[in-house]
Amino acid sequence: MDLIEDIRRKVRLTEHTVHNVTSTDFPGTYEGYDDAWSHERFEETFQVDIVSLSGCDMEFDMVGIDAAIANAVRRILLAEVPTMAIESVHIWNNTSIIQDEVLAHRLGLIPIKADPRLFEYKQKDSTDHSSEDTLQFKLKVKCTRNNIATDATDPDVLYKHHKVYTRDMEWLPLPGQDHLKSKGIRPVHEDILITSLRQGHELDLELFCVKGIGKDHAKFSPVATASYRLLPEIRLLQEFHGEQAEKLQKCFSPGVVELVERPDGTKVAKVVNARLDTCSRNVFRHEDLKEGVSLSRVRDHFIFSVESTGILPPDVLVSEAIKILMGKCQKFLQELEDTSSHTAKQKKGKKL
């Protein structure tokens, strides 16, 4: 029974293959186990634990779900949580060496610090810019020579405004956007280099931001990375002493295995933090080690890593992704209900 439980809950790594990779979260796979889904059991087993959280990075554990649900959260983070990004650029003057279309593309990829929940989606084929669906920026820069620097050769000394950064973008509130002035709308990072200029070069642009999602264009994606991995599990089937213990420690990432000194002075290998393991399987290269180590991954324990572009905090992004997933589920249930109701009416009509 313990072996079956191990197969149900663990993905096992061997020297050349990976076993038990098929999902088994449905009834009848294993005799004697009731794997039918129930709301009560899900509430008991499901949990989310935040491991670390900073301004742009978040690591959390999601336990008690199938890989399909975990992957749905990841894909929604990448492609369906909306943001504001530059959609159109009105170029009144561009005498720099960078082409208009390349410049517009670079501008579109600049993350804009604006909460998308405060805006509506812009209607397709609409040419009007309203306060409900658009943010407007101005970028007007001219490179001039620094007359004080007579003998200088360094462009930073020789010219003024020869590098155009995102800090040069100025937000122009549209009529009805006065309430947004306290929101600090701006580019997320002020030191992103847009282009370089030389004496006499000039940019005069109007930039218009709209709300969108990553599956329409990558510039709307709110995350730099969003990934997950299964929780590693490392079991030592025998004790490793002395040189063997040191060799075993070097087979894993730093912090996974430590050497514990016994009263008699011998050092013994001990697994202290398996979640730091990167699944290298280097231990299987050594004949004297591989039979004494078991490597596996917990099938329903996902370690998520989310790196925000800075538009919204990563914990807010995860909450928004889960809300979108819940909305999809509700829509699907409603469609099932509508289909069942329509089928029932058809059957009733045939009887009459």
Instruction: For the chain, state the CA radius of gyration.
Output: 29
d(CA 78, CA 122): 21
What percent of the chain shows pLDDT beyond 70? 95
Which structural domain range is residue 27 located in? 2-79+224-307
Are 143 and 125 found together in one domain?
A: yes
Tokens standing for 335? 């469609």
**319 within some domain:** no
For residue 294, what is the enclosing H or E element? strand 293-308
Q: What is the DSSP letter of 125?
A: T
Are 179 and 228 found together in one domain?
A: no
Tokens standing for 218? 């990558």
Backbone angles phi, psi at 99, to 5 degrees: -70, 155
How high is the mean pLDDT of the chain? 90
Q: Of the residues 220, 249, 282, which one is the last residue of a structural domain?
A: 220
For residue 109, the domain's CATH number is 2.170.120.12
Are 87 and 206 found together in one domain?
A: yes
**324 within some domain:** no
Angstrom distances, CA of residue 15 to CA of 74, 149, 299: 29, 66, 19
pLDDT average, residue stretch 194-209: 94
Residue 40 DSSP SS3: helix
Paired sense of beta strands 10-13 and 293-308, if any: antiparallel
Are 200 and 94 found together in one domain?
A: yes
Assess contact for 292 and 237: CB atoms under 8 A: yes
Q: pLDDT per residue over 202-243, tens digit each?
A: 999 999 999 999 999 999 999 999 999 999 999 999 999 889
Name the pTM for this structure: 0.86
Tokens standing for 143? 């490179």
Angstrom distances, CA of residue 266 to CA of 235, 237, 240, 241, 262: 21, 19, 10, 7, 6
pLDDT of the residue at 24: 65
